[in-house]
Copies of this chain bind each other. A is one copy, B any other.
Amino acid sequence: MEQSFCKLNFITNGDGFTDITDDLNSFIQKSNFHSGILNLTSLHTSCSLTINENADPNVLKDLEKFMKSIVPLNCYTSLSKDREEIYYEHFQEGEDDMPAHIKTALTNTNLSLSFKDGEIILGTWQAIYLWEHRFAPKERSISVHIIGEKNSSNYNNRK
Contact = CB atoms under 8 A, between A and B. Distances in A.
Contacts of A24: none
A148 B4 CA distance: 11
Contacts of A67: 105
Interface of A: 1, 3, 5, 35-37, 39, 41-45, 50-53, 56, 58-59, 61-63, 65-73, 75-81, 83-86, 88-90, 92, 98, 101-102, 104-114, 116, 121-126, 141, 143, 145, 147-149
A157 to B, nearest CB: 23
Contacts of A105: 50, 52, 63, 67, 107
Contacts of A68: 78
A53 B59 contact: no
A45 B52 contact: yes
A73 B82 CA distance: 12
A90 to B, nearest CB: 4
A113 B41 contact: yes
Contacts of A72: 78-81
Contacts of A98: 59, 62
A116 B86 CA distance: 41
Nearest to A84: B69
A66 B71 contact: yes
Contacts of A1: 1, 147
